[in-house]
């Protein structure tokens, strides 16, 4: 039966699917998941994804036809379409926004009506050289003899024979031209001469852009007795529960257990998705995985370019078990890859905040979306952490998730010994050297003396968080955002961490004209400077957003640390997670106070997790590590709990607090942000929306209020917070909120108002 209409997802922020007419020429060619080109608006052409075909009219008189069908096979499968729909409903965005986040840009086409469209993705071609015909060994010997007077050509031909391993009757293998030139130390002219004599010829072949991933298929390591118990408990838990939390102290060998679980799934022919919060972590773990699983292992993160992403996408949907990726290691967006047969999803460091996408929509949480994805595949999800999120642990307490615990480090090494260093006292007694307490200096000194490595953690990048006039207290702020500019010494500029705006350092105060501008506070860059002064002989490196911009930058730093080419590594939270170094024995936390004092309901939970994680980098292989936490408040409850590695205590305290003050996981939270360049209009519209919502939800609505950062890039911001009881049907609440927003959007003059909805904004 021929269908007349198709519903299409277009990469737009407009809610809903779009109906188009199927012209006769495309009857039969359309199916769910295939790409089509359609016109939307006056001129623009978009590539959309076909969702379904039907014969129901839409009531709209003039339905436009599909302009073109791209490719012959679907690029998105039906499980993905279902998952996109769930994300768009749960996170209150359009399916088009999910599509944009999900698919590599290289799969999109865009154009103007009337002009031809071309695929953005181009397979990469490279020139190869091969024998012009299947010469016998004798013929080849004659040819080589005749080349005696042309040594360059002789070198090329013999290099070709050597590299390709050619002999009489064997297959003619192409060899990369670049390799041939390098190996023979010869010139392109020599190759040309040989082609003219019909001895060699060049061919252009398609090559992959992805790095070769040949593995060694090393056997798996034998699990310790503790690990084996945990492994079996996980398998048992999966019999009754779809999600299980593996709560294992740092370095208890969780990764090793994942590897055993992965092996089991791959053996069954299933796919596995292994999520990590941070690109920086992928390089170390991918090596551990490739050792065992070789070329079925693929990596996915945002540093790959569009063309590479298309190739990864294709290798996941590839059905050939020889050439496809069946194990994907990646950051949050890898859950959008075209999996067709998942058996297991692992969410490592499940508590980590970078699983949540804040901007742009879809503002999804990768852990929660991955659990949903797994359920569509009938797969299981394993969450792993040394310091689980309050919401996941609460799901365990409620009986929704299974729990498996590992309480000891692998090899029975003790958890690191934690020392609190009181900065207030050290300042008072004038014992501080730059930003280092005597305790930290001594521990570093001892470690370096034993040729061991140190990491220093400071959760702020740049040199100093702001500069200030010593006379009048004037602070340079971003011209577009209401935030202080951070001083970056390397580029000698002030930088806005919200919008990227940069400016020169003012030589004089722009308020009182005094020349006394001084730096305040400290970031990783300043610590790096100070460390170099205090330990001039040490090899120092820094790992933060500024030093890891390239695709392999983070991997290079980690490799250097692994190979012992770095003595002291300074970094932001990037270095706190998952990394495993043999010779790293001392961890210093330069300032725990700014973690604890962050104004957010999760600040204490996050501080505990971060301190526990970063401590966990110390002393993982042979001996107990040492951690020095610098704080002006050593009596702080959270710090005391870190000292005792008392996760249950932290959980009880936080759960109690959240219950009392009605915070997640004991309520649902939806945050609406309104942005406008005109403050008065912003106030007017947000009051309108706030009142409308209050008339429906009463006291569940908080605000509108200016948030901590109330202006970014010359947009003023106000937020409204909805706190909805867990017991109330969430879909209905979302619907009511949407209706209010749409009512506001329909009122006149709101076209320059931006509204963003964030579900679970934490």
Applying CB under 6 A, which residues contact ligand ADP?
Answer: 221-224, 227, 248, 250-256, 410, 580, 620-621
- From the list ligand ADP, Zn ion, none, which binds 250 (C-beta under 5 to 8 Å, kind-based)? ligand ADP
Contact between 594 and Zn ion by CB under 5 A: the answer reads: no
Least separation in angstroms between CB 413 and ligand ADP? 9
Least separation in angstroms between CB 516 and Zn ion? 8
From 180-188, 304-312, 511-519, 754-762, give the range in contact with Zn ion by CB under 5 A: 511-519
- Per DSSP, the three-state class of 679 is helix
Nearer to ligand ADP, 250 or 297 (CB): 250
Nearer to Zn ion, 419 or 499 (CB): 499
Contact 705, 757 (CB under 8 A): no
Least separation in angstroms between CB 578 and ligand ADP? 7
Nearer to ligand ADP, 615 or 719 (CB): 615
Chain residues 513-552 in contact with Zn ion, contact rule CB under 5 A: 514
Separation of alpha carbons 50 and 76, rounded Å? 9
Contact 626, 586 (CB under 8 A): yes
Nearer to Zn ion, 514 or 742 (CB): 514
Separation of alpha carbons 387 and 392, rounded Å? 10
Nearer to ligand ADP, 94 or 255 (CB): 255
Nearer to ligand ADP, 291 or 556 (CB): 291
Contact 67, 37 (CB under 8 A): yes
Among 341, 511, 632, 710, interactor with Zn ion by CB under 5 A: 511
- From the list ligand ADP, Zn ion, none, which binds 498 (C-beta under 5 to 8 Å, kind-based)? Zn ion
Least separation in angstroms between CB 380 and ligand ADP? 19
Least separation in angstroms between CB 596 and ligand ADP? 25
Least separation in angstroms between CB 250 and ligand ADP? 5
Nearer to ligand ADP, 223 or 717 (CB): 223
Contact 755, 761 (CB under 8 A): no
Nearer to ligand ADP, 388 or 521 (CB): 388
Least separation in angstroms between CB 511 and Zn ion? 5
Nearer to Zn ion, 468 or 530 (CB): 468
- From the list ligand ADP, Zn ion, none, which binds 221 (C-beta under 5 to 8 Å, kind-based)? ligand ADP
List all residues 6 or more positions away from 499 whose beta carbon is below 8 Å from its beta carbon.
Answer: 478, 480, 481, 712, 713
Separation of alpha carbons 244 and 347, rounded Å? 10
Chain residues 457-486 in contact with Zn ion, contact rule CB under 5 A: 469, 471-472, 474, 478, 480-481
159 token code pair: 């290099």
Specify the DSSP class assigned to residue 2.
-
Specify the DSSP class assigned to residue 433.
B
Looking up tokens 């190869």 gives 128
- Per DSSP, the three-state class of 55 is coil
- Residues found in the chain: 762
- From the list Zn ion, ligand ADP, none, which binds 255 (C-beta under 5 to 8 Å, kind-based)? ligand ADP
Least separation in angstroms between CB 230 and ligand ADP? 10
116 token code pair: 């031809």
- Per DSSP, the three-state class of 69 is strand
- Per DSSP, the three-state class of 547 is coil
- From the list Zn ion, ligand ADP, none, which binds 254 (C-beta under 5 to 8 Å, kind-based)? ligand ADP
- From the list Zn ion, ligand ADP, none, which binds 256 (C-beta under 5 to 8 Å, kind-based)? ligand ADP
- From the list ligand ADP, Zn ion, none, which binds 252 (C-beta under 5 to 8 Å, kind-based)? ligand ADP
Nearer to Zn ion, 520 or 644 (CB): 520
- From the list ligand ADP, Zn ion, none, which binds 620 (C-beta under 5 to 8 Å, kind-based)? ligand ADP
Contacts with Zn ion by CB under 5 A: the residue count is: 15
Separation of alpha carbons 2 and 30, rounded Å? 10
Least separation in angstroms between CB 325 and ligand ADP? 22
Looking up tokens 């968080």 gives 465
Scanning 644-706, the segments in alpha helix (DSSP H) are 647-661, 679-697
Contact between 512 and Zn ion by CB under 5 A: the answer reads: yes
- From the list ligand ADP, Zn ion, none, which binds 601 (C-beta under 5 to 8 Å, kind-based)? none
List all residues 6 or more positions away from 510 whose beta carbon is below 8 Å from its beta carbon.
Answer: 474, 476
CB neighbour class for 722 (10 Å; exposed up to 12, middle 13-18, buried from 19): buried
- From the list Zn ion, ligand ADP, none, which binds 509 (C-beta under 5 to 8 Å, kind-based)? Zn ion
Contact 238, 402 (CB under 8 A): yes
- From the list ligand ADP, Zn ion, none, which binds 410 (C-beta under 5 to 8 Å, kind-based)? ligand ADP
Least separation in angstroms between CB 412 and ligand ADP? 11
Least separation in angstroms between CB 513 and ligand ADP? 55
User: CA distances (Å), 36 to each of 32, 117, 225, in order?
Assistant: 11, 12, 55
Looking up tokens 């978009």 gives 46
Nearer to ligand ADP, 224 or 295 (CB): 224
Separation of alpha carbons 46 and 36, rounded Å? 8
206 token code pair: 């398609």
Among 329, 509, 543, 720, interactor with Zn ion by CB under 5 A: 509
- From the list ligand ADP, Zn ion, none, which binds 493 (C-beta under 5 to 8 Å, kind-based)? none
Least separation in angstroms between CB 279 and ligand ADP? 18
DSSP-assigned beta bridge partners for residue 520: 466
Question: Residue 453's closest CA among 542, 380, 527, 562?
Answer: 562
Question: Residue 303's closest CA among 553, 559, 550?
Answer: 550
- From the list Zn ion, ligand ADP, none, which binds 174 (C-beta under 5 to 8 Å, kind-based)? none
DSSP-assigned beta bridge partners for residue 150: none
Nearer to ligand ADP, 155 or 256 (CB): 256
Nearer to ligand ADP, 191 or 285 (CB): 285
Question: Residue by residue, what is the 3-state secondary structure of 34-46?
Answer: CEEEEECCCCEEE
Nearer to Zn ion, 3 or 474 (CB): 474
Region at 371 (left for phi over 0; alpha for psi -120 to 50; beta for the rest): alpha
User: CA distances (Å), 364 to each of 99, 278, 361, 387, 603, in order?
Assistant: 13, 16, 8, 22, 20
User: CA distances (Å), 194 to each of 152, 175, 252, 544, in order?
Assistant: 10, 15, 61, 52
Separation of alpha carbons 613 and 577, rounded Å? 6
From 258-266, 367-375, 496-504, 645-653, give the range in contact with Zn ion by CB under 5 A: 496-504
Least separation in angstroms between CB 581 and ligand ADP? 9
- From the list Zn ion, ligand ADP, none, which binds 697 (C-beta under 5 to 8 Å, kind-based)? none
Nearer to Zn ion, 429 or 679 (CB): 679
- From the list Zn ion, ligand ADP, none, which binds 762 (C-beta under 5 to 8 Å, kind-based)? none
Interacting residues with Zn ion (CB under 5 A)? 469, 471-472, 474, 478, 480-481, 496, 498-499, 501, 509, 511-512, 514
């Amino acid at each position: 039966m021929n269908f007349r209409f198709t519903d299409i997802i277009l990469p737009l922020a407009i809610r809903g699917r779009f109906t188009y007419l199927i012209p006769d020429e495309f009857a039969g060619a359309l199916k769910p998941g295939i790409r089509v080109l359609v016109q939307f608006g006056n001129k623009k052409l978009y590539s959309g994804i076909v969702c379904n075909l039907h014969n129901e009219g839409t009531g709209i008189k003039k339905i436009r036809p599909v302009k073109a069908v791209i490719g012959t096979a679907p690029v998105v499968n039906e499980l993905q379409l279902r998952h996109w729909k769930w994300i768009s409903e749960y996170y209150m965005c359009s399916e088009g926004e999910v599509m944009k986040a999900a698919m590599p840009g290289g799969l999109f086409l865009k154009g103007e009506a009337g002009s031809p469209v071309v695929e953005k993705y181009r397979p990469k071609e490279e020139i190869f050289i091969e024998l012009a015909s299947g010469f016998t060994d004798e013929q080849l010997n004659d040819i080589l003899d005749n080349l005696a007077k042309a040594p360059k050509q002789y070198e090329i031909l013999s290099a070709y024979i050597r590299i390709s391993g050619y002999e009489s009757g064997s297959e003619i293998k192409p060899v990369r031209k670049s390799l041939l030139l390098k190996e023979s130390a010869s010139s392109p002219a020599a190759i040309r001469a040989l082609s003219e004599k019909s001895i060699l010829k060049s061919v252009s072949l398609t090559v992959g852009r992805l790095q070769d991933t040949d593995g060694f298929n090393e056997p798996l390591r034998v699990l310790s007795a503790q690990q084996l118990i945990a492994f079996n408990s996980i398998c048992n838990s999966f019999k009754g529960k779809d999600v299980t939390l593996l709560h294992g102290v740092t370095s208890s060998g969780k990764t090793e257990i994942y590897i055993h679980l992965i092996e089991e799934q791959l053996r069954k022919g299933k796919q596995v998705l292994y999520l990590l919060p941070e690109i920086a972590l992928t390089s170390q773990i991918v090596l551990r995985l490739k050792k065992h699983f070789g070329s079925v292992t693929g990596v996915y993160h945002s540093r790959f370019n569009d063309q590479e992403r298309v190739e990864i996408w294709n290798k996941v949907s590839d059905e050939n078990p020889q050439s496809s990726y069946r194990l994907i290691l990646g950051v949050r967006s890898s859950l959008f890859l075209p999996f067709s047969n998942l058996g297991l999803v692992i969410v490592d460091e499940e508590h980590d905040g970078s699983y949540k996408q804040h901007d742009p929509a879809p503002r999804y949480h990768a852990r929660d979306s991955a659990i949903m994805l797994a359920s569509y595949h009938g797969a299981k999800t394993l969450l792993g952490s040394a310091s689980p999120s309050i919401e996941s642990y609460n799901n365990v307490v409620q009986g929704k998730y299974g729990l498996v615990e590992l309480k000891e480090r692998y090899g029975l090494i003790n958890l690191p010994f934690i020392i609190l260093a009181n900065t207030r006292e050290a300042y008072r007694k004038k014992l501080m050297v730059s930003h280092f307490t005597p305790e930290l200096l001594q521990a570093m000194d001892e470690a370096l003396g034993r040729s061991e490595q140190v990491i220093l953690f400071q959760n702020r990048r740049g040199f100093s968080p702001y500069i200030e006039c010593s006379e009048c207290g004037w602070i340079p702020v971003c011209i577009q955002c209401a935030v202080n500019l951070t001083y970056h010494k390397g580029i000698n500029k002030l930088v806005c961490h919200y919008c990227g705006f940069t400016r020169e350092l003012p030589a004089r105060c722009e308020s009182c004209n005094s020349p006394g501008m001084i730096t305040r506070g400290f970031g990783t860059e300043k610590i790096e400077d100070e460390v170099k002064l205090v330990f001039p002989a040490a090899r120092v490196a820094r790992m933060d957003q500024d030093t890891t911009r390239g695709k392999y930058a983070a991997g290079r730093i980690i490799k250097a640390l692994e190979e012992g080419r770095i003595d002291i590594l300074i970094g932001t939270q990037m270095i706190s997670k998952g990394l495993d170094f043999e010779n790293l024995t001392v961890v210093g936390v330069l300032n725990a106070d700014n973690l604890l004092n962050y104004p957010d309901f999760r600040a204490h939970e996050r501080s505990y997790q971060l301190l526990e994680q970063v401590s966990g980098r110390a002393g993982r292989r042979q001996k107990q590590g040492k951690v020095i936490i610098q704080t002006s408040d050593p009596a702080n409850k959270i710090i005391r709990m870190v000292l005792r590695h008392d996760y249950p205590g932290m959980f009880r305290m936080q759960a109690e607090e959240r219950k009392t003050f009605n915070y997640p996981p004991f309520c649902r939270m939806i945050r609406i942000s309104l942005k406008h360049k005109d403050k008065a209009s912003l106030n007017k519209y947000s009051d309108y929306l706030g009142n409308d919502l209050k008339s429906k939800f009463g006291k569940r609505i908080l605000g509108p209020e200016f948030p901590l950062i109330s202006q970014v890039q010359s947009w003023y911001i106000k937020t409204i917070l909805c706190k909805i009881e867990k017991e109330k049907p969430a879909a209905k609440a979302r619907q009511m909120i949407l209706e209010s927003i749409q009512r506001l959007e329909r009122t006149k003059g709101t076209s320059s108002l931006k509204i963003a909805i964030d579900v679970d904004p934490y």
